[in-house]
Structure 1
Amino acid sequence: MNDTETIRADLAGTPKPVCADLTPFRLVSADIARGIVRVEFGEQPAFRNHFGHVQGGFAVAMLDVVLSLAAYVKLRQWCPTVEIKSTFLAPAKLGTCIGEGSVLKAGKSLVFVEARLWGADSQLAVHATATAMVRPA
């Protein structure tokens, strides 16, 4: 089984929180050793803002999923986000969006991650960094 299949199996065997229904995604790829993930978010018409793009709060919610998943892939445990910073670079075109995330550094109590979100037009729309708490085993 490769890394992507391993993580897909983990996700299939893990109960999802109800909030996960708001940001359904498909895992495209995972690299366990490097803590890198790529996911695809399907079109969510409810995320549309007045300008026809993904509303910023929903874009950050999608990135929080990517950030959390990157930390999970590296550490094989769910780590709650304690801080997130997002930078909006362009409007995220509504439709299938792609998110990529990676672990920058994993310590004993904190993990530092970053992620990017591309809109349906393949334009980089949002960059985020986050800190998550590593829970004792």
Structure 2
Amino acid sequence: MTSKEQAIEKINLHAPKFISLLGGKLVDFDVETDACQFEFNIGRDFCHSIDVVQGGFVTAMLDTAMSHAVMALNKEITNISSLEIKTTYLEPTRAGKLRVEGWAIKKGYKVAFMEGRIYNENNELTATASSVAKLSRAAK
């Protein structure tokens, strides 16, 4: 097992419970570009209109990928708090396997600007998000 695979396994083991409730797991990251990719296998329990994922859960998945892109492997950052999230729903996001990508556009000492995207099983873009978050760092 590579060090990257070990890091992904460790992050998944210590992930907040809501990620596993949504069938989520981290599958890839890139420290150089502050980007990561999650896979969610979301069930109909999180849907309305039979199989359309409720918008709050769509935003939660996007927020997960964006925040992990910034802090998952940065030991200096102890917490990330959303100041603003804007979600755009392009198509219905339906229950099933989803690929959710998040990355930092700009990361300062106290604030990060991020974006995210959700793709369905047919690789169709269903939702996007942009976010601004406050970063908390470990005392030096």
Going by fraction, where is strand more abundant, 1 or 2? 2
Which one is further off, 42-51 or 73-82? 73-82
Partner amino acid, structure 1, of 2:45:
A
Counterpart in the other structure of 1:115: 116
- Is the contact made by 1:4 and 1:30 (CA closer than 8 Å) also made in structure 2? no
Task: Flag the 1:10–1:22 CA change in 2: closer, same or farther, 3 A.
Answer: closer
Normalised TM-score (structure 2) = 0.83
| Unmatched runs of 5 consecutive residues or more in structure 1 | none
Counterpart in the other structure of 2:62: 63
Aligned residues: 135
- Is the contact made by 2:44 and 2:51 (CA closer than 8 Å) also made in structure 1? no
CA RMSD of aligned residues (A): 2.0
Partner amino acid, structure 2, of 1:86:
T
Normalised TM-score (structure 1) = 0.85
- Is the contact made by 1:92 and 1:120 (CA closer than 8 Å) also made in structure 2? no
Give the alignment of 1:84-123 within 5 angstroms: 84-123=85-124
Counterpart in the other structure of 2:10: 9
Runs of 4 or more off by more than 3 Å in structure 1?
A: 1-5, 16-22, 73-78
| Unmatched runs of 5 consecutive residues or more in structure 2 | none
Deviations, residues 78-121 of structure 1 (Å, cap 9, x unaligned): 41212101111111122111101111111010011110011233
What percent identity do the matched residue pairs reach? 28
User: 3-state SS of the aligned residue for 1:80?
Assistant: strand
Counterpart in the other structure of 1:26: 25
